[in-house]
Structure 1
């Protein structure tokens, strides 16, 4: 009997011990996880100056095709392809022989008509004097006056012919219409040319030179304002990014804002002029024009790496009370280097997680390090 009692007491003690051990194990399993270490920064306002970038093509402010105005064969070329030319510099000559002969003939014809005019004038004067004395028939007087008038018209016609053939003779020598760079000649010595044929060459101005860009219609007031502003040599409002990524050292100015928006694209062409003293910029280069943009007042700025994108929407994790994070939707503005403007969703002084966002979720408790 005594042995049965002892066994019962031992079993009870063992059951209590096992129950106690199981309770401790459950408590260990239900213990909350430790805070996740993250890096966070305080939301601050800062200078929101940045550059908008527009694709552009380098083009000449003035470009002229050299066209022949008379027919003939090229007898002279007086430049090197691709060289700088000055306004008024001789470029080409077209065989002038037939035009010089025509001019000489027109001059001779004018001299004949002037001699006829002189004779007609004397006849008219004589008949008019006789008419005052009633010594000649009125019909003869009228004929003399009519002949004088006809001869005067023939002189005027001869003078017009001289002007015409003189112009043709002048066009046999072609001069540069502006300062600039001339291209590769499209004709060689002896080539036959005529009005309306292929241009002989092209001259384009190269200092200053321009960059053409297409801007959205909403940008028109901005570029009209830039056009009205005076630019200094140190201004950095309009800068040119070269194809190799370098920045062109001379700033630009808005020279032309086109007259109308393209209804198909909703864009407007803007022409920005740049100094080009070293002839570094060549027509046809594709580059980018960077236009400085500033809101004029401090804006909320956060590191761009703190932003996550989900279904074309943007979110950040904000550290709140009790070191718990809350995911907030934000509306972003322009990106400025490694930061981005936040238009809506955050307030100055809040803490946003910059590193460790992939390890946390809504409501998670975090341990902030390297925070501000």
Structure 2
């Protein structure tokens, strides 16, 4: 029992001695890495998703009904304006035209006879040698004959038009697609799609911008001489750069009131047919901002509720806890984090352009920002900074 008693006393003494040891002061400084801001010229492109479109495109629809009796082109080939593309069974339309022409000849003969009778009765009427009623009937018959000739002429025109519609021609030079009908298919006027023709050189590229950017593109449209090479370029779906530059052509007439967006159209030469209608691509607009710009690592920028902030390092004098109250060294220099609201610009790889909020020479915190708040004490004395592979710098 005595042995157990003495062991308990020994353990209590050891624990008491450990508690009496002075605990090391807790380090409240957040280790960070800094980046000194220096404005420099920046080359970048504003990028916009876009789609290629034909400047002219038409869907071929038949104007008369009948079976397709001829197809006179190669699908996917280039066609010329006026080239014959389709033929619809024209026999019934040829017969209608011939009948209309024959009927017109009959009405013309009737008109000749009525004219002769009217002339004869007019002569006799001058000498009161014929009944007034016969003369009036002759004049009316003449007018009716003239109307019948006009009607016959219109019937001939209609029959000729229908006969012409039985043959479908290319309305302009362009590329024709896959035929939607085959030989023998019966087509219906205004309903059955025969094919589609579109122009391909030059090619339009449409993209959408926010209405806030509209003044910028209006200035680019009105500029007679573009100061920057490669102002408008496009990246194709395989991320390759299209080798020919484009120019701004049209800005849509109105802003979409629901989305606040408006469509801008560029035009690119397409001599080799690399661009096809409906392709997805990315429009690159060369930046036009002159002079150096402030660029910081993107990881230094913090987004909060749609606003953007960075932390900068600022020297601050603080009380020295190791010095006495009357000591001349009661103040020491320490770094603190200062939160600043910034306006961000284009993202360039891992970096981001800052348009306002910080200045040349500011020291921006790039690592450790997730542990900071406005006024946090920071240090760059750490051997390996958080999220960094090397020694912090001040």
TM-score bracket, normalised by the shorter chain, equals 0.7 to 0.9
Q: Which of 142-151 and 342-351 deviates more?
A: 342-351
The 3-state SS of whatever aligns with 2:64 is coil
Is 1:62 aligned to 2:56, yes or no? Answer: yes
Q: Which runs of 5+ in 2 are unaligned?
A: 1-20, 317-332, 383-390
Distance 2:369 2:160 in 1: 84
Is 1:243 aligned to 2:237, yes or no? Answer: yes
The 3-state SS of whatever aligns with 2:217 is helix
Output one character per residue of 1:42-66: Cα deviation in whole Å (capped at 9) or x when no partner. Answer: 4222335532221112222221010
The 3-state SS of whatever aligns with 1:46 is coil
The match for 2:302 is: 309
Shift of 1:320: 4.3
* TM-score between the two structures when normalised by the length of structure 2: 0.76
The match for 1:318 is: 313
Shift of 1:222: 2.4
Distance 1:47 1:234 in 2: 14
Q: Which of 294-303 and 160-169 deviates more?
A: 294-303
Shift of 1:213: 1.9
Q: Which of 131-140 and 336-345 deviates more?
A: 336-345
The match for 1:162 is: 156
The 3-state SS of whatever aligns with 1:81 is coil
The match for 1:340 is: 352
Distance 1:218 1:268 in 2: 10
The 3-state SS of whatever aligns with 1:45 is coil
Distance 2:34 2:41 in 1: 21
Shift of 1:112: 1.0
Output one character per residue of 1:4-62: Cα deviation in whole Å (capped at 9) or x when no partner. Answer: xxxxxxxxxxxxxxxxxxxxx99xx78x99xx8x8755422233553222111222222
Trace 1:166-245 onto structure 2 (pairs within 5 A): 166-230=160-224, 235-245=229-239
Shift of 1:264: 3.0
Is 1:300 aligned to 2:294, yes or no? Answer: yes
Q: Which of 241-250 and 216-225 deviates more?
A: 216-225
* TM-score between the two structures when normalised by the length of structure 1: 0.80
The match for 2:104 is: 110
Does structure 1 conserve the Cα–Cα contact (< 8 Å) formed by 2:228 and 2:288?
A: no
Distance 1:233 1:178, change over 3 A: farther
RMSD across aligned positions (CA) = 3.4
The match for 1:21 is: none
Q: Which of 69-78 and 259-268 deviates more?
A: 259-268
Structure with more of its chain in helix, by fraction = 1
The match for 1:89 is: 83
Distance 2:225 2:77 in 1: 31
Output one character per residue of 1:136-173: Cα deviation in whole Å (capped at 9) or x when no partner. Answer: 22222221111111111111110000000000001111
Q: Which of 138-147 and 43-52 deviates more?
A: 43-52
Shift of 1:333: 1.7
Distance 2:313 2:303 in 1: 16
Output one character per residue of 1:48-94: Cα deviation in whole Å (capped at 9) or x when no partner. Answer: 55322211122222210100000111111001111111111110001
Trace 1:252-267 onto structure 2 (pairs within 5 A): 252-267=246-261
The 3-state SS of whatever aligns with 1:70 is coil
The one of 269, 273, 294 equivalent to 1:275 is 269
Does structure 2 conserve the Cα–Cα contact (< 8 Å) formed by 1:52 and 1:291?
A: yes
